Amino acid sequence: EPEVTQTPSHQVTQMGQEVILRCVPISNHLYFYWYRQILGQKVEFLVSFYNNEISEKSEIFDDQFSVERPDGSNFTLKIRSTKLEDSAMYFCASRSDRAEETQYFGPGTRLLVL
Amino acid sequence: DQQVKQNSPSLSVQEGRISILNCDYTNSMFDYFLWYKKYPAEGPTFLISISSIKDKNEDGRFTVFLNKSAKHLSLHIVPSQPGDSAVYFCAVSIFFGNEKLTFGTGTRLTIIP
C-alpha cells in the first residue's frame, strides 16, 4: 500500500539554525500538508499546498517557515532560524483530489532544538 | 483553541467489550468529521469519517455517530481487541474550501486482555 515517507526521522539542531524537513507524498496525490505536535499537545495544522502554492496557513506558520515542492516527488518544510519552541513532531500529509478523500499522514520527523 | 475537545484523556476497556470514545466541537460550520488512530512514533492513521449529511457510518468493528444538534461525535469499537490500544484523535474540517484538519487532544485507549 502506498504511504507517505518522511526524512529524517529525528533531527537535533542548535537554536538559530536552519532545518529542512523532507516528505515524499503518495505519488498520485495533489494536496499536501504539514502539521506539528508539540509533546503532550494536540496535532496542529501548519500549512496546506496545492498547485504549487500555499492554499491555507495557520498563524503558527510565520515568516520563519516556508514550503516547497522542488521536484515532482518531494515536499519540504524549511524553518529558517529555529527556536526552542519549534521542538515538536512534524507530520507531512497528502491526499488525492477525489471527493471526500482523507489525508494520509507520514510517520513524522522529531525535531529537537537545543 | 478549544474548538474540538476530547474530555477523556484515557480509557480502559476489557477485551471483547465495546469502547466508546467521545468528541465535542463548537463550530457549527464543521461538516466533515474523522477519527484517526496513532501509535507511538508513528503518524496518525485514518480510521473512519462521516459527513454532516449522515448521522452514522460503519466500517467493520468501527462505527462513528454524529449528533449535529449536540455538536458531538463518538466512535464505537466492538468488539475491542488488544491491537486497538492506541491514542485516538477526532478531527474536523469545513470540507469544501477549507483544507485544514482541526484535531482534538486525543484519548489514550487501553484494551485489557
Provide the residue type at B69 as one letter.
Answer: S
- From the list A42, A102, A107, which residue is nearest B105 (CB)? A42
pLDDT of residue A70: 85
Identity (one letter) of the amino acid at A61? F
Question: Could you tell me the pLDDT band of residue A2, with boundaries at 50, 70 and 90?
Answer: confident
CB B99 to CB A58 under 8 A?
no
Between chains, do A42 and B101 touch, taking CB under 8 Å as contact? no
State CA A91 to chain mean position distance: 5
**What band does A71 get if pLDDT is binned at 50, 70 and 90?**
confident
- Using omega within 30 degrees of 0 as the cis cutoff, is the peptide bond preceding B44 cis? no
pLDDT of residue A54 exceeding 60, the answer is: yes
For chain B, give the percent of residues with pLDDT over 90.
79
* DSSP per-residue string spanning B63-86: EEEEETTTTEEEEEESS--GGG-E
pLDDT > 90? residue A57: yes
Of all residues in chain A, the one with the smallest CA distance to B40 is A107
Q: Would you call B61 exposed, middle or buried from its count of C-beta atoms within 10 A (0-12, 13-18, 19+)? A: middle
Kindly list the distances between the CA atom of residue B40 and the CA atoms of A90, B35, B80, in Å, as whole numbers in the listed order: 14, 17, 19
Average pLDDT taken over every residue of chain A: 93
* Tens of pLDDT, residues B43-59: 999 999 998 899 999 99
Residue of B34, B42, B100 lying closest to A45 (CB–CB): B100
What span, in angstroms and rounded, lies between the C-alpha atoms of B96 and B40? 31
Q: What is the per-residue pLDDT for A11?
A: 97
The arithmetic mean of pLDDT across residues B1-26, rounded, is 93
Q: pLDDT (tens digit, 9 = 90+) per residue, B58-98?
A: 999 999 999 999 999 999 999 999 999 999 999 998 865 55
